[in-house]
Amino acid sequence: MSRLLIALFLLTPLASLVSAAEPLRVATFNIDATPPLGSPLCDALVEPVKSITDPLSARGVVILSDEAPIVLCAVDWIGIGNGGYDTWRDALARAAGTTADRVAVHCLHQHDAPGCDFEAEELLASHGLSGAMFHVAFARKTVDAVALAVREAKSKVQAVTHVGVGRGTVERVASNRRVLGPDGKVKYVRYSATKIPEAIAAPEGVIDPEVHLVSFWNGDKPLASLTYYATHPQSYYGQGEVSADFVGMARHLREQAMPEIAHVHFNGASGNVTAGKYNDGSKPNRPVLAERLAAGMKAAWDDAQAKKSPVTGANVRWRVSGVKMPLSPRLVTDQAELQKTLADDKVKATQRVRAARDLVWARRLQSGREIQLSALRLGPAWVVHMPGELFVEYQLAAQQMDKQSIVCMAAYGDYGPGYIGTQDAYPRGGYETGIVSRVAPEVESVLMAGLRVLLQP
């Protein structure tokens, strides 16, 4: 090497000799996911679609960094489980050019909305009940539409120079639905709409009162807002009036305030959290709840805007933890009876649908299949993705696992397990853990171990 080249080499900053980290980039997508008239709603538990109060959506972000693409998708449906969840993730992964384990699909759990489980549909169809649980052709069409939107979004990526993370308190919305009596057992289940004076008067109980928010920026230009809040989203429902309910209305209020950016909202761990203390089920109360949630979203946005930090593709990490969830004892022993219920055409369709869902989940776990948990590390924030109707204690525990970061949680991923309580909750009874949960009390130790794997430094 000549003396001139040696001199130039010594004078060149080391940083310029090393490939710079890829810039972080983001693309957004948003499609209509409103079911047609006559479609089943709430997994056939309520009246089918008679009218559209407001449309439903499937929306999210594609994140491009140093690694393979990541897709985060929020859907205004009650739940997407088992084979439905696999189908959604596979389709979005192909569209984004990534793998299914880097795709997180979550529902907001509105009850005036459809569900989706293609494994349960296949079982129901074999007993003459195809389409009883959800509108199958519409569901497949929606999957295709979201995949197309993801594919098209990748051609419209925007550079991200900063992320903002923040929190905002929501007043008088969330309350724990399990009101305990003097014996430590559940005395009242404070459903989404509550009219029992004693249940209304009881304290809020264990909740997470804060909206958590992650925002993407290109310099001073805001690009997208991702919000996370734990509550069942129902104000009133069940009359066949499709709606994104008060969480969708709150999101829309933020869209009106900031129409230039994408707004994506996720439901947190709210299996045991409702608005029941503050909601009597009257129609005028829906916009009241929406305004309170929107105020918390704005406070979180303002907090995040004041705390922006630089970010590159190197600041993004994705982790996956596979767990084997323990099967509910009732599903270990009752499968023959469930099969009889499913096959009996004299039994109500709603009961046969529930039997099919129970059987699909039981067979899934007994085959040894794992459930995937995942977490996105994005600068100073964690975003954790969890299955089922998770109790809020899991969200609070995750926040304690990394007190130096803001930990956001989206639940209602794979809807297969239904309610997921804590070990302490199961012997206390109540609707969630006493009747419909598809997992055993030992699930707490399994999921807490999975969370520790995801959130390790």
| Structure-token pair, residue 311 | 């970010």
Does the structure show a pLDDT above 80 at 408?
yes
Q: Is pLDDT larger for residue 378 or for residue 20? A: 378
Q: Which residue has the tokens 């979180």?
A: 300
Mean pLDDT of 30-41: 98
Six token digits for residue 386:
């969890």
Average pLDDT of the segment spanning 303-331: 96
**Does the pLDDT value for residue 125 go beyond 50?**
yes
pLDDT at 306 over 60: yes
Total Cβ atoms within 10 A of residue 51: 10
Indicate the pairing of strand 162-169 with strand 309-310: antiparallel
- DSSP class of residue 368? T
Query: Taking residues 236-242, what's their average pLDDT?
Result: 97
**Confidence class for position 146, pLDDT limits 50, 70, 90:** very high
Q: What confidence tens digit (pLDDT) does each residue in 107-121 have?
A: 999 999 999 999 999
Report which DSSP code applies to 439: B
Question: Across residues 186-195, what is the average pLDDT?
Answer: 95
Residue 457 pLDDT class (50, 70, 90 cuts): confident
Quick one: what percent of the chain has pLDDT higher than 90? 94
> What is the average per-residue pLDDT within 254-277?
98
Q: Is the pLDDT of residue 8 over 60?
A: no
Q: Residue 21: what pLDDT?
A: 65
Residue 339 token pair:
């099969």
Instruction: Please check the confidence at residue 15 and state whether its pLDDT lies above 60.
Output: no
Q: Are 381 and 407 in contact (CB under 8 A)?
A: yes
Average pLDDT over the chain reads 94
In angstroms, the CA 78 to CA 111 distance is 6
Q: pLDDT at residue 16 above 90?
A: no
Task: Summarize the confidence of residues 171-181 as an average pLDDT.
Answer: 97
Q: What is the pLDDT of residue 140?
A: 98
Contacts of residue 274, defined as CB under 8 A and 6 or more positions apart, other chains included, come to 174, 175, 177, 190, 191, 192, 194, 231, 232, 234
Helix (H, G, I), strand (E, B) or coil at 158: strand
Q: How would you label 420-431 residue by residue, b for 16+ Cβ within 10 Å and e otherwise? A: bbbeebbebbbe
Say what the pLDDT of residue 5 is. 40
For residue 390, what are the CA distances in angstroms to 87, 196, 412, 417?
Answer: 22, 25, 7, 9
Predicted confidence at residue 3, as pLDDT, reads 47
Q: Is 188 left (phi over 0), alpha (psi -120 to 50) or beta?
A: beta
In this model, does residue 196 exceed pLDDT 50? yes
Q: In what order do the strands lie in the sheet with 406-410?
A: 316-323, 371-378, 381-385, 406-410
- The arithmetic mean of pLDDT across residues 20-42, rounded, is 93
Q: What is the mean pLDDT of residues 91-119?
A: 98
Q: What pTM value is reported for the model?
A: 0.94
Strand order, beta sheet including 309-310: 262-267, 221-229, 210-218, 162-169, 309-310
338: left (phi over 0), alpha (psi -120 to 50) or beta: alpha
Q: Does the pLDDT of residue 322 top 70, yes or no? A: yes
Contact 326, 446 (CB under 8 A): yes
Strands (E), 23-161: 24-32, 51-52, 57-64, 70-75, 79-80, 103-107, 115-116, 158-160
pLDDT for position 20: 53
